[in-house]
Amino acid sequence: MTILITGGAGFIGSNLVKYALANGYKVVNLDRLTYAGNLSSLASVIESPEHVFAEGDICDAPLLEALFRAHQPRAVMHLAAESHVDRSIDGPDDFIRTNVAGTFTLLEAARRYCDGLSGDERARFRFLHVSTDEVFGSLGNDGYFTEASPYDPHSPYSASKASSDHLVRAWGSTYGLPALVTNCSNNYGPYQFPEKLVPHITLSALAEKPLPVYGDGGNVRDWLHVGDHCRALMAVLERGRVGETYAIGGSSERTNVSIVQTICGILDELRPRPTGGASYRDLIRFVADRPGHDRRYAIDASKLRNELGWKPSRAFEDGMSETVKWYLGNGDWVNGILSGAYRLTRIGTGRHDAR
C-alpha cells in the first residue's frame, strides 16, 4: 500500500517515513528540501526500493498531478510546512505560500485524483493533515485543548496552520474528500533541526554558549516524543473516522525553563563541562520574550485514547534522556546540518538585525 508523505525529509516527516516503511507501507516522499529538510535524516532508507524520494514543491500542481498518476497512493499524509514560529515573525511570506497556498494546491490535486478513483478505492482513500495545537492560542493556568477548542492563533505560523486546517475541513465537507486532521503538541526526538528548543539547548550547551530562555521561562508546553506522534498518526490514518479531528499530546506539561534545566542535568551526567564541577545550568540566560508568546498549551488526548487505543509509550524523562544521548552520538548528522546557513543565532524578535 502506497502513501504519499509530504515533508518527509523534515523532523517528524523523516521519522514517519521510517516508521511507515517499517510497517510495510511503500512511501512516496515529496519534499522541497528547504533549510529544514535533509536527506541525511533519511540515510538508512534512501536506497530502499519501497521509498521513492521526489524533490519538489507542494505548490507545484503539475508535479503533484504526475506523482498521483504515477504512484496511485492510497493515502496522503501532509506534513510539509514552514514550521518555526520565530522564522514566521521575521518572514511570514513563506508560511503563507507553503502552509496556506501549498495546502490548497495539494488539496486540489488530491481531490482530482480521488474523484477519478473507483467506488472502493475512493472509499479507502484518506487525506491526513498534520497540524499543531498552536492553532488554539493560549490557555490560562487550567484546562486543556480538545478537538472542540475554538481557533485563536497568535503567530504567523499558527495562523497559517489554522488556515490550512480550515481548508482541509472545507475540502472534506464541500467536495467529499475523505480528510482527517490531527493537532499535536510539541514534539522532541532525533533529527530535529537545531533551531528548536531541545537540540538548540543541547548543542549550545556543548559549545559552552549562553542558553537563552525567552521571558521568564514560565511558558508551558506539552511534550511528546516524535515516535509516539508517528504511532498516533498511523492509528488515525488506519482507524480514524473520516471527517474527524484528533488532538494528540503527551500529558507531559513542562515550563520552558524546566526543559532547559532537565537537558542541563542530563548533560552534567553524560558529558560534564570541561570547566570542572560547574553545571551547564550556569549558562542559562533569560532574554527578551518572543512577541505574542502563548503562555500555556496542554492537550486532552482522551478521544484518541478511547477511540483508537493510543497512548504515549515513553515517559518524558526517558524520552528526553534518550534524545540528548542521540544528539551526543550523532555528531556527523549535527555537523552536516550546522555547516549550512543556520548558525544557532537568535531570530524571531521582529527585528531583522536581531541576534
Ligand X SMILES: NC(=O)c1ccc[n+]([C@@H]2O[C@H](COP(=O)([O-])OP(=O)(O)OC[C@H]3O[C@@H](n4cnc5c(N)ncnc54)[C@H](O)[C@@H]3O)[C@@H](O)[C@H]2O)c1
List, by residue number, the catalytic residues. 133-134, 157
Alpha-carbon distances of 119 from 122, 123, 241, 289, rounded to whole Å:
5, 6, 18, 53
Should residue 251 be labelled a site residue for ligand X when binding is judged by CB under 6 A? no
For the record, the C-alpha cell of 19 comes out as 516508521
| Closest distance to ligand X from the beta carbon of 354 (Å) | 21
Using rule CB under 6 A, residue 201 touches ligand X: no
Could you give the count of Cα atoms lying within 13 Å of 146 in the half-sphere of its Cβ? 6
- Give the strand order in the sheet containing 75-78: 51-55, 26-31, 2-6, 75-78, 126-132, 179-184, 245-248
**9 near ligand X (CB under 6 A):** yes
Question: In terms of Cα–Cα distance, which of 101, 94, 99, 69 is closest to 4?
Answer: 69
For ligand X, give the closer residue by CB, 87 or 217.
87
Query: Which one among 13, 137, 153, 199 touches ligand X, defined by CB under 6 A?
Result: 13
Residue 131, C-beta contacts closer than 8 angstroms, at least 6 positions apart = 161, 164, 165, 181, 182, 183, 184
Q: Taking the complex as a whole, how short is the minimal distance between the CB of residue 87 and ligand X, in angstroms?
A: 9
d(CA 324, CA 315): 14
User: Does residue 161 interact with ligand X by CB under 6 A?
Assistant: yes
Give how many residues touch ligand X by CB under 6 A.
Answer: 32
Question: Residue 7 interacts with ligand X (CB under 6 A)?
Answer: yes
Q: Would you count residue 36 as binding ligand X (CB under 6 A)? A: yes
Q: Nearest to residue 59, comparing CAs of 28, 104, 120?
A: 104
- Give 51's strand partners: 27
* Interface map 117-136 toward ligand X (x if CB under 6 A): -------------xxx----
4, 57, 252, 261: which one binds ligand X (CB under 6 A): 57
Residue in the block written with cell 498516533 = 232
Q: Name the DSSP class of 74.
A: S
Q: Which residue number, 7 or 348, has a Cβ lying nearer to ligand X?
A: 7
Which range binds ligand X by CB under 6 A, 21-29, 76-84, 141-149, 252-260? 76-84
Nearest CB to ligand X, comparing residues 169 and 281: 169
In DSSP notation, 194-225 reads TTSHHHHHHHHHHTT--EEEETTS--EEEEEE
Number of other residues whose CB lies within 10 A of the CB of residue 342: 14
Three-state SS at 108: helix
Considering just the CA atoms, what is the radius of gyration of the chain in Å?
A: 20
**Residue among 92, 83, 91 nearest 32 (CA):** 83
Q: Is 190 near ligand X (CB under 6 A)?
A: no
By CB under 6 A, residue 98 contacts ligand X: yes
Task: Tell me: does residue 165 bind ligand X (CB under 6 A).
Answer: no
The reply to whether 184 sits near ligand X by the rule CB under 6 A is yes
- 3, 4, 5, 10: which one binds ligand X (CB under 6 A): 10
Closest separation in Å from C-beta 71 to ligand X: 16
Min CB(282)–ligand X separation in Å = 28
Minimum distance of ligand X from residue 118's CB (angstroms): 29
Residues that bind ligand X (CB under 6 A): 6-7, 9-13, 30-34, 36-37, 57-59, 79-83, 98, 102, 130-132, 161, 184, 186-187, 193
